[in-house]
Structure 1
Amino acid sequence: MIRSLGRGIRYLSVRWNGTSSSAAAVSKLKASGFSLPQNNPPPPQLTPEQTIQLQTDSADFAITKLVHGVTPKKLAITERAVSKLRLIIETDKDPDSALRIGVESGGCHGFQYNLKLTQVAKELAQDKDNDLYVFKRGPAQVIIDDSSLEILQDSKVDYTKELIGSQFKVVDSPYTSTSCGCGSSFDFDFDKLEEAKLARGSS
């Protein structure tokens, strides 16, 4: 029933009489019918370059295989690192050549990389603690100990050409918090590493 309050103001009066028809009418008044429109912004669109980079990153980890040791932690070898290690293998005529990676304390940011060329058989023979892992992509092999892999997990081994020279480098580490300009000294985020460890344990 519509009633007037004067000055052109009216209001709608709804009476409840307990009949089935009234109950049916009231039951149609659901909260969902009055929900405000959602103005959620669309997800950000990746540029073609970003899309290609994501595909490359995924391929690097998918192609790199763990061939010695057992661990859920991952390490990727880039195509440029593979090309350089292949050249070293062909030049030295030694298919057992590999890149050994370690993390040790030192440098201006607390920790530094120790990278050297070596041989897989030699390193495994000296592995008294049985804590070495060997990752392989094509002919390229990378050797890393367990404590270093704990810090460098989900990173990539790359070969870069810069003004200061060409070198193997560990790049795209998600747990590095700070690093020096040359990239040889760094610090890492202990909290993020702990979160990654907990995530692995719950999966």
Structure 2
Amino acid sequence: MTVQNETSTATGIILSDAAAAKAKALLEQEGRDDLALRIAVQPGGCAGLRYQLFFDDRTLDGDITSDFGGVTLAVDRMSAPYVQGATIDFVDTIEKQGFTIDNPNATGSCACGDSFN
């Protein structure tokens, strides 16, 4: 996994080169350049909190954003403390494919891996 310069991110989140490239490809496939990749933390799951990672055309009051190779990463001010220092990567192997989030703030997760605390 190759990551962008950690000290330059306003969000405190790292978006790996693979994740940025995949997000950019998805945006280009849709013909959209007005969307940000948003990470949010919502209550839910058996461990208490659940990540949401999606493309968003909204700008929320208090958003913190960083640019990674032409992809804007946005996090709302309520979610920011929960994901500070996290790394978002994209994995494409025979075993699994998709975005992954490695969060040093997560003290535990549920057995299915869908939520954290």
Partners of 2:56 and 2:28 lie apart in 1 by 15
- Name stretches of at least 5 consecutive residues in structure 2 with no aligned partner: none
What amino acid does structure 2 have at the position aligned with 1:86? K
Q: How does 1:39-118 map to 2 (within 5 A)?
A: 56=2, 59-62=4-7, 65-66=9-10, 74-118=12-56
Q: CA deviation at 1:165?
A: 4.8
Which structure is higher in RCO with an 8 Å CA cutoff and minimum separation 6?
Answer: 2
| Structure showing the higher helix proportion among its residues | 1
Q: CA deviation at 1:138?
A: 0.9
> Deviation string for 1:137-193 (max 9, x for gaps)?
11112111112111110111222236675322321x221111135533001xxxxxx
The residue aligned with 1:142 is: 73
Q: Secondary structure at the match of 2:45?
A: coil
Q: How does 1:128-167 map to 2 (within 5 A)?
A: 130-161=61-92, 165-167=96-98
Partners of 2:16 and 2:110 lie apart in 1 by 22
What amino acid does structure 2 have at the position aligned with 1:110? G
Partners of 2:94 and 2:112 lie apart in 1 by 11
**Match status 1:178 vs 2:108:** yes
- Name stretches of at least 5 consecutive residues in structure 1 with no aligned partner: 1-52, 67-72, 188-203
Residues 1:183 and 1:161: Cα distance change in structure 2 (over 3 Å): farther
Q: Compute the TM-score of the two structures, normalised by the length of structure 1.
A: 0.51
Identity of aligned pairs, percent?
25
RMSD: 2.4
Q: CA deviation at 1:98?
A: 2.1
- Structure 1 segments of 4+ aligned residues over 4 angstroms from their partners: 162-165
Q: CA deviation at 1:110?
A: 0.8
Partners of 1:81 and 1:74 lie apart in 2 by 16
The residue aligned with 1:32 is: none
What amino acid does structure 2 have at the position aligned with 1:88? L
What amino acid does structure 1 have at the position aligned with 2:6? F
1:61/1:77 contact within 8 Å kept:
no
Q: Compute the TM-score of the two structures, normalised by the length of structure 2.
A: 0.82
Equivalent pairs, count: 117
What amino acid does structure 2 have at the position aligned with 1:94? R
Residues 1:136 and 1:107: Cα distance change in structure 2 (over 3 Å): same
